Chain A
Amino acid sequence: MIDFLNYLINGALVGLLYALIAMGFVVIYRASKVFNIAQGELVVFGGFMVWWMIVQAGLPMAVGIPLAFVAAIAFGLAIEKIFFSRLVGESVFSMVMVTIGLLILIRGLVLVLFGPAVRPFPIIFPLKPIILGDILIPRSLLFGGLITIATGLGLSWFFNATRTGLRMTAVAEDHQVALSLGISVKRSIAFAWALGATLSTLGAIIFLSGKSLNFLASDIGLAALPVALLAGFESIAGVLLAGLIVGIVQGLVTAYVDPAVGGAVGSVFPFLIMLAILFIRPTGMFGWKTIERV
């Protein structure tokens, strides 16, 4: 029973981490309709920025972390400007091709700048786990989970109730209508990329705190993909819930099924969920169904 609780809680927290990464993905997709396959590379880039500021440059965290965010945001804006600003309204296919190119490019850039070596990531959250009776919870995941929930609810409110957020939601729904109301679609998309890069960096900090970092950390972006799909691509609050579901299922399958079959079913399970969703309900659980009224 205690074991079960342990798996459940840790699964949920890992799921929330996926949700945070997926949020970056969703924010970019909503505004620009770019299905950013390179989301994991943004996490790696953000991670390396944090590593560079704190470990290489030796800055204190209070300075280094904000600077890393600034650098990541600049990077996100640059990507948007260089690769996507001219592609607004192009087909999904060409956008996907560009994001694949982007993935390879960022990976190459990271290798050139920081090399393939494994680097120690600074300890942002204390390593000592929180112990509740017999349950053991890593601090980074717990704090990360709380940050993710707060971020998700905050973003949800932002997109539904603030003026800037509503502008972005209008852009998410219909570029032409947004333009006809005098909303700058370009600015909204740029803002989305900045936000996406911020969320990725936040994800990197929670994911990597006290661990090691190299270019392979981008795999977390892949793990977040099923979460975004399960949620549907538009609902931020839905991403939280989808993250919890994927994380818990993955945790329990890893704990109980993997030993029985002697394989890594747990790690592929999210992708099985993803395929199932694609077959059953491509708009996800909370995504915008195309409302049909004739």
Chain B
Amino acid sequence: MLELNNVEVLYSDVILAVKGVSLKASQGACVTLLGANGAGKSTTLKSISNILTTEDGRVTQGSITFEGARIEGGDPADIVRRGIVHVLEGRRVLRHLTVEQNLLIGGHMEKSGQAVRRRLDEIYTRIARLAELRKRTTGYLSGGEQQMVVIGRAMMSRPKLIMIDEPSLGLAPLMVEEVFNVLRSLKNEGVTLLIVEQNTRVALGLADYGYVMESGRIVLEGAASDLMSNEDVREFYLGLNLEGERKSYRDIKHYRRRKRWLG
């Protein structure tokens, strides 16, 4: 369904943030993209939704294909119309608007006002919490509530693929669970998901397949269950090693990490 082939992203003509990433998400799959800060995860998602333009970035190499059509460098509105929606990092609600207004904006591509209303009711039944909050100004909601709003807003456009950037960031464990329950229900419904996470455990719990990124490259990939038991992932991302003590990722020489992953 979605395929990135050797994608390179350049910011401001000098900063190469993504250096040849290839990844794939097939219809109905849940794929997660893991990696430390600055690895290039968000940039990869932005290259797909092509909102790179607002940051003076562009795809300089490689191809992005969605349902057989090349979409790299396309108009963001066209990409949403094709069925890809990108939930940005950091719970970007439209803070001065109500929950309902946020959702209505998410559904702005529907053919009629009535169709938007119908979709709105569907979302309210799906995420009951949003129905309770409909009249509230989103800027004053809790982090978890805001995360629900941006997910609901993305769902308004009836996407085939939802890309979501660090949905668990800064949320209490209970809230993380609630957010991932919504994502699980989307997955069960057949929506394709591409989740960027630093909360490796939760992400691998939901995903079928995972990629690990480091300094702009994919350094490891595999079925979620394999990654979960992979020694490196356990050590560096789940924070467990054989002695049960936490070890900093940085403690180990780069070449050794590479070698182990490639091996």
Binding site for B on A (CB under 8 A): 89, 160, 163, 166-167, 169-170, 173-177, 179-184, 234, 288, 291, 293
Chain A residues with CB under 8 Å of B116's CB are 163
Q: How long is the Cα–Cα vector from A288 to B94 in the complex, in angstroms?
A: 11
Q: How long is the Cα–Cα vector from A183 to B86 in the complex, in angstroms?
A: 13
Q: Which segment of B11-19, B65-73, B77-85 sits at the interface?
A: B77-85
* Contact A160–B101 (Cβ < 8 Å): yes
* Contact A181–B54 (Cβ < 8 Å): no
Chain B residues with CB under 8 Å of A176's CB are 51, 54, 88, 92
Is B28 in the interface zone, CB < 8 Å from A?
no
Chain B residues with CB under 8 Å of A182's CB are 76-81, 85, 108-109, 157
Is B153 in the interface zone, CB < 8 Å from A?
yes
CB distance from A74 to the nearest CB of B (A): 25
Known: A160-B101, A182-B108. A169 touches B85 (CB 8 A): no
CB distance from A194 to the nearest CB of B (A): 19
Known: A173-B95, A173-B96. A180 touches B105 (CB 8 A): no
* Contact B96–A170 (Cβ < 8 Å): no
Q: How long is the Cα–Cα vector from A169 to B87 in the complex, in angstroms?
A: 19
Who on chain A is nearest to B137 by CB?
A291
Chain B residues with CB under 8 Å of A89's CB are 54
Q: How long is the Cα–Cα vector from A293 to B224 in the complex, in angstroms?
A: 35
* Contact A174–B94 (Cβ < 8 Å): yes
Is B20 in the interface zone, CB < 8 Å from A?
no
CB distance from A13 to the nearest CB of B (A): 31
Is B113 in the interface zone, CB < 8 Å from A?
yes
Q: Which residue of B95, B153, B157 has the most chain A CB atoms within 10 A of its CB atom?
A: B95
Which of B94, B96, B113 interacts with A177 by CB under 8 Å?
B94
* Contact A163–B104 (Cβ < 8 Å): yes
* Contact A234–B54 (Cβ < 8 Å): no
